[in-house]
Amino acid sequence: MNMVQSAGIRSIVGDAIAGLPDGNLATAVEQAFEKEQASVNRIEECFEQLTSRAWSRPTLERFFHAWRDTHLSAGSVAGMTCRLLALAEKAGAERSHSFKEAAGQTARIIHEDLGLCGETHAELYNRLATSVCDGDEWELRRNRVPSAFEFRNWVHHQRVVARDLQEGLLTTIASEIYNHGEYSMLAPMFNHWLEERLAFEPEKVQRDIAYIAVHTGGTESGHFMYGMHALRHYCEGAGIAVHYPRIEQKCTEYLSRVGRAFEGIAAALH
């Protein structure tokens, strides 16, 4: 068994939202995580299972192909940003300003993802996965886990295809706060796994774990706030109020769906 003690996702998220000046937002997120504790448990158990041992190459290839499908969705955030700019072009001056501000906030979410401060997050992920799998065959379609691929398609639909653009903005808010919890939990777990279970040299561990490290600290929690600012600007432009029960509902749905994705990923670990 993996002996590394790491704070759980819900605990990490709770610490992140505890200091929010918007108590309604904190309550919406907290209640969603409370409702979907079983989904969060499935995710944590999957990572505990993964990091408990050295797996065969085919198993690792399936995991890294599927895990990528639950992340690395900068393209859909970019698509959502383009939709906001298109709204701004069609709106009057005051509403246009609000939609442009919303687009500016969503663009900030993918600033690091696109490599504007260094390597892209996709490049960092590829390096980690290729190193652990000892090759790049993890990228092949044969390694697809249906539940994870279905989740990826759902996220894309919410941001790029759904008629109501709020669906994409709300999905992004849910995604970023969940990501903060997941990556913060994983940093010590993966560090131990790579060094102790997979016998990576310390220098290689530090190089390969960069994908997880760049998402810890204030990165994903900051993206969560960019997403919330984007929603507020969008609502200003649309002439509607921020509806906190809808935030809770979308966070709940996101956690349920990502939990099902990891249920399939865990089943592929054999």
- CA gap 51, 190 in Å, rounded: 7
pLDDT along the chain (270 residues), means of 10: 72 94 97 98 98 98 98 96 97 94 95 81 96 98 98 98 97 97 97 97 97 89 94 97 98 98 96
> Could you say which DSSP state residue 71 is in?
S
pLDDT at 3: 52
pLDDT at 115: 74
- CA gap 216, 214 in Å, rounded: 6
- Cβ contact 269:50 at 8 Å: yes
pLDDT at 1: 45
> Could you say which DSSP state residue 54 is in?
P
**Residue ranges of domains in the chain:** 55-267
- Cβ contact 132:208 at 8 Å: yes
pLDDT at 11: 96
Q: Domain 55-267 adopts which CATH fold?
A: Heme Oxygenase; Chain A (1.20.910)
